[in-house]
Structure 1
Amino acid sequence: MGVASFFQERVIFGKNIPAPVNALLQEAAGNTDNFAQAEKLLLQAQAIDPQQLPVYTALYKLYFYNGHTSKAEDAVFQSLHQAAKQGGFHYDWTALEAQAEWSDPDSAGRAYLYSLKALAFIRLRQGDNQGAQDILATLQRLDPADVVGADVIRALAESMAEEWGNG
């Protein structure tokens, strides 16, 4: 049974995800070539358990990679709100200070940082380099060890700023 269930899980979304939500996440992961079906499955998962942060992550990634940046942005904001609520800290990233609990990969704080990183990437895609830079500066302050890999987005933002400056 262990091998069979290993192959049935396409993606590991996190720990302690209720089975019905995980099943919908897995089915959505298997339907990424069918945007409408994947979106429907993820929205069902969100309706079943709106506290499951991996559902928000899957939603904003689906929207972003399919060119729906406004929907991706909305899903990121939902994720930020839910993560802040679960983590017991303020939603507004400009007012936050680094917190040790953000080092736990399964914490609401880590989900918050990843969502903030996604928002910086969305801002770049929307052509808002300054907005992305502001978020990246906050990420550097909150996550000086860069456990969420914001340096990749930072390098992209710098490259784009140079390109726009020379264009």
Structure 2
Amino acid sequence: MDLMDFDKAGLYFDEPVAAGVQDLIAEAGGVYGQAAAEALLHKAYFLAPESLVVLVALYRYYFYQHRLEDALLVGERALGIVGRRLGFPDEWSRLHPDFLGQAVLRSMGLLRFYMSVLKATGYINLRLGRMAQGQALIEKLVELDSHDRFGGRAMLEMIVAAVADRIEEAA
């Protein structure tokens, strides 16, 4: 299975979103950098708490504002929502490659979204200095992505090298 096969795959932004919610996101983009932007995104979230478009908008806002803790919360929420839609276990750590076949039948686009969020939450954990958690998330990505379409192997190699350097420095 090629996780980058985009033929006939619906993407998160193809999902219908109420016009009012889409307007709030657009308005937030227009006032980006001002306090009103976050309030508009929160309003969109309260109107559509499981909308992936809203979650991506919130995630990007927090990430680009360097509010990594908040971005991580949104990423974890997205993993839960998409995981439920794909029939995955509640805990990403219990996920294994056998789940992917059924997920592809449900939605290749959602599966790719899930994998991207898995990588993003791993990266944010690393940025926050939570090396064990970040490494575990990237290891899960590598386990699930046998063809390395999401570039998890290179990240994992860098993590392992960084940990080895820290151990060497401490010795």
Q: Does residue 1:106 correspond to 2:109, yes or no?
A: yes
Under a length normalisation based on structure 2, what TM-score does the superposition of the two structures give?
0.73
Tell me, yes or no, if structure 1 residue 92 matches structure 2 residue 91. yes
Structure 2, unpaired ranges of 5+: 1-10
Q: 8 Å contact 1:117–1:139 — kept in the other structure? A: yes
Write the deviation string for residues 57-80 of structure 1: whole angstroms up to 9, x where unpaired: 221232122122221221122111
Q: More displaced, 135-144 or 157-166? A: 157-166
1:122-148 deviations in Å (ceiling 9; x for gaps): 111111222211111100111223344
Tell me which of 140, 143, 156 is aligned to 1:141. Answer: 143
> Which TM-score applies when normalising by structure 1?
0.74
Q: CA separation of 1:68/1:87 partners in 2, compared to 1, >3 Å: closer, same or farther?
A: same
- Matched-pair contact (CA < 8 Å) for 2:13–2:52: no
Taking structure 1 as reference, are residues 145 and 40 closer, same or farther at Cα in structure 2, changes over 3 Å only? farther
CA distance in 2, matches of 1:13, 1:29: 19
More RCO (CA 8 Å, sep 6+): 2
Q: Are the equivalent residues in 2 in contact too, given 1:133–1:154 (CA < 8 A)?
A: yes
Identity %: 27
Judged with a 3 Å threshold, the aligned counterparts in structure 2 of structure 1 residues 161 and 26 are, in CA distance, closer, same or farther, namely farther
Is 1:80 aligned to 2:79, yes or no?
Answer: yes
